[in-house]
């Protein structure tokens, strides 16, 4: 059996500077220091620490497989340590996403978000990691469909004989905790019927149909379903594999040439336009947003992220590019249009989704004031 390589991205909001805005350097430094040590002790082979708005993101490449207790514990301990530092500094929402206390080998269901992919490395294995802030995992449904299911997005679906058999999408029903696999192009309409409801149905994995090659994995954590109330947004991550019988890098990021609307933004209670940004702009500002997404491109090579001679991983900050200025401009314009509507739907989320927020408490107060109306 060839040796397999695992890419893991595990993330958590451990506390943030000046509200839900950004992860300050002392917290990033904890991630960097601990992952460097883990690399020295050969638990992992490569790492990259960054942040998406107020979420601390740990990208790790190793040979331990998915759901490995040691890898998950490493991330969990870093989040605990960073949350403690955040608490010492009295940063906002220290330990926000650490919803459970007793760690038992896996961060799934405990608050942090995780996307993992175990692969047999191809001759060359280009990858993209996406990380978003102020939104939910279903926010990736639309681009996942575009990338792997839509021939108007991905020319390879039409031009490359290696992709003609299509792709299989695993869709998770986060309310019922059930999943289903649907294949494109044959079941495209059924797929859209489900994933067009991103608050409930989430694309969790994608495989190439002809050989079941894994090509995408997405985090599915819904914090409000774990906590039973709104405690912050999920702020999802995703790993996507590119090229050579898979969508090209450019086909993976072209869906972000325009903005599109996602649930989240201020207090997790509003529709907002998702804005692709470079790492330098990965900070949420206007009305705690607009919701933002970063994309990092890299190569997986000999069990690691391909690195320079000093072992620094070679990472390309994909949205730090004028080609995404149009989407950013649209995002600001649409954000302004929605904000003109204040707290009126559809700027605010549906009453059903608001159930998880503090709005029901406000409505509760009015209960006694209602009198029967004449029919
Ligand atoms: P590959 O088929 O080698 O992935 O190249 C596709 C391409 O030319 C990208 O634009
Ligand atoms: P985060 O989920 O990114 O912490 O945002 C919480 C929030 O309520 C922003 O307004
Ligand atoms: Mg936060
Ligand atoms: Mg966040």
pLDDT tens digits, 165-177: 999 999 999 999 9
Range with lowest mean pLDDT among 99-103, 125-129, 237-241, 345-349: 99-103
Residue 337 Cα, ligand 2 centroid: separation in angstroms?
21
Mean pLDDT of the chain: 97
Range with lowest mean pLDDT among 16-20, 83-87, 221-225, 342-346: 221-225
Ligand 1 atom 7: residue of nearest CA:
248
Ligand lying nearest the CA atom of residue 91: 3
Specify whether 229 is catalytic. no
Other C-beta atoms within 10 Å of 70: how many?
Answer: 12
Asked if the model's pLDDT at residue 272 lies above 70, the reply is: yes
Ligand 1 atom 9: residue of nearest CA:
248
> Which atom from ligand 2 is nearest to the alpha carbon of 284?
3
Looking at the chain, the whole-number percentage of residues with pLDDT higher than 90 is 97
Asked if the model's pLDDT at residue 306 lies above 90, the reply is: yes
Ligand 2 atom 7: residue of nearest CA:
267
Specify whether 201 is catalytic. no
Task: Tell me which of 11, 13, 54, 64 is the catalytic residue.
Answer: 13
Determine the pLDDT at residue 375: 83
Determine the pLDDT at residue 1: 65
pTM of the model: 0.97
Distance CA 227, CA 4 (A): 35
Residue 264 Cα, ligand 3 centroid: separation in angstroms?
12
């Amino acid at each position: 059996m060839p040796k397999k390589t695992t890419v893991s991205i595990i993330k958590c909001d451990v506390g943030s500077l000046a509200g839900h805005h950004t992860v300050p350097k002392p917290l990033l430094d904890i991630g960097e220091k601990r992952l460097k040590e883990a690399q020295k002790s050969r638990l992992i082979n490569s790492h990259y620490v960054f942040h998406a708005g107020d979420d601390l993101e740990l990208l790790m490449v190793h040979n331990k497989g998915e759901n490995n207790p040691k890898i998950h514990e490493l991330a969990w301990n870093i989040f605990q340590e960073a949350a403690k530092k955040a608490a010492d500094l009295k940063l906002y929402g220290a330990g926000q996403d650490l919803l459970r206390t007793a760690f038992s080998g896996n961060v799934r269901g405990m608050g942090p978000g995780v996307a993992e992919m175990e692969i047999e490395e191809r001759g060359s294995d280009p990858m993209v990691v996406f990380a978003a802030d102020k939104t939910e995992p279903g926010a990736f449904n639309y681009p996942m469909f575009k990338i792997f299911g839509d021939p108007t997005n991905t020319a390879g679906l039409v031009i490359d004989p290696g992709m003609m058999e299509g792709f299989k999408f695993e869709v998770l029903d986060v309310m019922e905790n059930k999943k289903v696999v649907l294949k494109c192009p044959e079941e495209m309409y059924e797929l859209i019927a489900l994933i067009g409801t991103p608050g409930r149905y989430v694309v969790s994995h994608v495989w190439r149909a002809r050989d079941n090659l894994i090509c995408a994995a997405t985090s599915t954590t819904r914090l409000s379903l774990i906590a039973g109330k709104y405690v912050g947004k999920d702020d999802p991550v995703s790993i996507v594999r590119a090229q050579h019988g898979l969508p090209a890098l450019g086909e993976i990021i072209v869906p972000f040439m325009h903005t599109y609307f996602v649930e989240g933004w201020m207090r997790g209670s509003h529709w907002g336009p998702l804005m692709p940004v470079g790492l330098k702009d990965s900070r949420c500002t206007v009305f705690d947003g607009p919701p933002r997404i970063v994309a990092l491109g890299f190569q997986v090579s000999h069990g690691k992220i391909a690195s320079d001679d000093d072992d620094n991983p070679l990472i390309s900050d994909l949205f730090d590019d004028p080609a995404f200025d149009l989407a950013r401009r649209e995002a600001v314009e649409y954000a302004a249009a929605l904000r003109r509507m204040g707290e009126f739907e559809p700027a605010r989320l549906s009453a059903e989704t608001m159930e998880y927020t503090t709005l029901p408490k406000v409505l509760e107060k009015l209960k006694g004031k209602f009198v029967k109306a004449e029919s």
